[in-house]
Amino acid sequence: MARSLHITFGIELEFICVYPQGFFRRLFPEYDGPDQAGNAVEKQLRQIGIKITGFEFDEDIFAPQPEGPTYSRWTVSREELHLSAAEQAVLPPGSAIEALELSSRVFHLDHDNWRLEIEAVLATLRMLECCGCRIFANGDTGLHVHVGNGDALLPIETSKNVLRIVTAFERCLDQIHTVPRIKMPSPEDAGTIQCGSPSFFFSHAIVPSADASPVVSPFRSWLAAIDGVERYEPLGAFFSSTIEGSALEYLDGHNSAYNLDNLYSRPGVDRKAQLTKTIEFRQHAGTLELEDIVAWILTVTRITKFAHHGYTTGRQLPSTRDLVGDEYRLPENKDFGIVELLTWMGVASEAIDLYARKVDAAVDFALEKKTKRLLLELELAHYQTFYPLIEEVENARYARSGIAAVREAVRQKYEEGYYGVELD
């Protein structure tokens, strides 16, 4: 019998800070160094007791930390993010822009008060906004969650089960994401792919058998491909393949919705960081909303636990007959959606409740969030200066996440056959 998992995780929050030149130097005259948002974020988090390293540039963030082992503290670093052309057009004159990433320490899912700590970090960002800058997650940002098994490597069968689940139920999971993170990219766009789906990689890297019956859903061929590997190297290769016709010579896990690069060493690849022994879930759009972050953490950690449960009980996949059998055919049942999937896997009710609101056509959840954020903006310092920018950010977010737009993206992807299921 396989040992139980000790689920650990870490998060990466990407965001952009816009502020008047000299703002942080005036706000915190006691701070030495340049006028930088990253420096201010680090100092303020340290003041409230968050264990964090000094503000570091990207190439330095994996250096040994003198106050503890790597990943035992939060880090704030520069990130390669950009404003859209529309956001640039309403940028207040004389503004400075910093693109940043906050990477958390490693949390134990069951033993750490991670929710309170994340809430404190977000409250610190809100405090800085109240002083006269703006911190937001636009369409170029992501929320990434690394899930692991403490210091031990995730068993290969557990990871295979995770990939079986997200491959078979890609349609269901897409229902809670934004349009750009749902749509199937073309190979020509590979250089800008942030979170290619399983169907994208399997469609281009895995060619179904020539003698396969045309009535057999392609996702069964994709699941069979996962079944056929016994090591992490070939498993990871499914999601880091050379794409024919791509301008990018080679894709890696950072181009995938599910990054396995931290589970094995790739020959010829020079890594700056030590292996985290984690699966990185990358599909979620950037957000600084606590309920969104918590719900996604609860979802991906439960997917991993659920996948391992099938392994520890000796089954290839939890409820295998439900997944691919003729009786249930859940992936191909359009009435089986994200709420049913998460309920089936035993995801926490607060996450299910949030996603149920997101997919409820009678409740335009994305519009509610947009309205709430714009009303909050009117309460912040210097709102006259920043309101046009925040309004553009929120309008663009709504265009990506509104229920009608998301449903249309899922419908189109389904009808074009990219979920690998039989069409009606």
pLDDT digits over 1-42, tens only?
A: 457 889 999 999 999 999 999 899 888 887 766 778 999 999
Assess if residue 73 is contained within a domain. Answer: yes
Give the distance from CA 79 to its chain's centroid. 15
pLDDT digits (tens, 9 = 90+) for 359-391: 998 889 999 999 999 999 998 888 889 999 999
Domain ranges, residue 65: 1-141
Assess if residue 417 is contained within a domain. Answer: no
Consecutive H or E run containing 134 = strand 134-136
Assess if residue 127 is contained within a domain. Answer: yes
Higher pLDDT, 241 or 88: 88
Of the ranges 116-120, 123-127, 248-252, 356-360, which one carries the lowest mean pLDDT score? 248-252
pLDDT digits (tens, 9 = 90+) for 183-207: 887 655 555 677 888 888 887 655 4
Assess if residue 78 is contained within a domain. Answer: yes
Residue 175 banded pLDDT, cuts 50, 70, 90: very high
**Residue type for 12, please?**
E
Assess if residue 121 is contained within a domain. Answer: yes
Assess if residue 151 is contained within a domain. Answer: no
The total domain count for the chain is 1
Assess if residue 161 is contained within a domain. Answer: no
Number of C-beta neighbours around residue 35 at 10 A: 19
Q: Is 351 helix (H, G, I), strand (E, B) or coil?
A: helix
Assess if residue 62 is contained within a domain. Answer: yes
Report the C-alpha dihedral over residues 158, 162, 164, 166, rounded to 10 degrees: 180
Angstrom distance (rounded) from CA 410 to CA 240: 24
The candidate with the shortest Cα–Cα distance to 80, out of 9, 141, 151, 161, is 141
Number of C-beta neighbours around residue 120 at 10 A: 13
Report the C-alpha dihedral over residues 241, 406, 303, 352, rounded to 10 degrees: 170
Indicate whether 114 pLDDT > 60: yes
pLDDT at 29: 82
